[in-house]
Amino acid sequence: MNVIPAIDLIEGQVVRLLAGRFEAKTVYDKDPVALARDYQASGLGELHIVDLDGARYGRQENGNVIRRIVSASTLDVQIGGGIREVSQLERWFDAGVMRVVIGSLAVIKPELVKEWLQKFGPDKIVLALDVTLDGDGVPYVATHGWTRSAGMTLWQCLDLYAPAGVRHVLCTDISRDGAMTGPNIELYDQLVDQYPQIQLQASGGVRAIGDLKALRATGVPAAISGRALLDGKISIEEIASFLPAE
């Protein structure tokens, strides 16, 4: 299983939110470019970056920082937050970004995003499907910075995109994000079982190396870790067991 570290940015600073709430923000005294280099030096090969200003306001305010990260490292970078136009995708790909993450737009304008999948190919776009569970445990997709329900289940959304050849999906259980309560193993186990063709990125709740091992046991291809790495709950030595053999 591939471990992908996450860097969330607000006004150029490394931050973490609790369950997506901007008022529940933790700011880290870490230079984002240096942090990316540290992840690369530890042997990790990919990086997930979220421009939270872009996600909140629809304008990518951290572009310069992200471009510095891309140029200063050899990490395969995927970026999300505030991407609304095809021209933005083209600029990021030209800048060396490996994949672009599409969130609310994937639910609000699926035909447009399907066109992008066709234009750029399934390995260049990640669908970020953030979910809340109803009283019966059914995952419903949320949009607009996790503030609105799309009225669509996760399964309905994946079935919608299957004919378009979607390959990369980042799924976050919103209630677990930044909460350090452990990932929703049951959700990801079900997702892997029902959609084995998807290169799933599990996100939300990772708090220790045992959580990554539990995710690996489900067959999840990749897991994203933000706060646990930033807070030192998972050490670089522990991550080494997930690195590919040389």
Return the minimum-mean-pLDDT range out of 22-26, 105-109, 192-196, 197-201: 22-26
For helices 110-120 and 154-161, the axis angle rounded to 10 degrees is: 50
Percentage of the chain modeled with pLDDT above 70: 91
Picking from 21-25, 89-93, 155-159, which range would have the lowest pLDDT averaged per residue? Answer: 21-25
Percent helix, strand and coil across the chain, each to the nearest 5 = 40, 30, 30
d(CA 143, CA 131): 9
- Predicted local distance difference test score (pLDDT) of residue 152: 87
Assess whether pLDDT exceeds 80 at residue 57: no
What is the DSSP-derived secondary structure letter of residue 158?
H
Average pLDDT over residues 195-199: 96
Range of the domain at 70: 2-242
pLDDT in tens, 5-19: 999 998 888 888 765
The DSSP bridge partners found for residue 224 are 4, 203
What is the model's pTM?
0.91
The first and second tokens of residue 112, run together, are: 């447009």
Sign of CA dihedral 139, 143, 149, 151: negative
Interval 200-210 mean pLDDT: 92
Report how many domains make up the chain: 1
Question: For residue range 140-153, what is the model confidence (pLDDT) as tens digits?
Answer: 998 755 455 657 89
**By the 8 A CB rule, do 151 and 179 touch?**
no
> Could you give the residue numbers annotated as active site?
8, 130
Work out the mean pLDDT of the chain and round it to a whole number. Answer: 89
Which positions ≥6 away from 89 have C-beta within 8 Å? 83, 100, 116, 120, 124, 125
Task: Supply the CATH number for residue 174's domain.
Answer: 3.20.20.70
- Cα separation of 33 and 11, whole Å? 14
Which helix (H) or strand (E) element contains residue 35?
Answer: helix 32-41
Instruction: Work out the average pLDDT over 98-113.
Output: 94
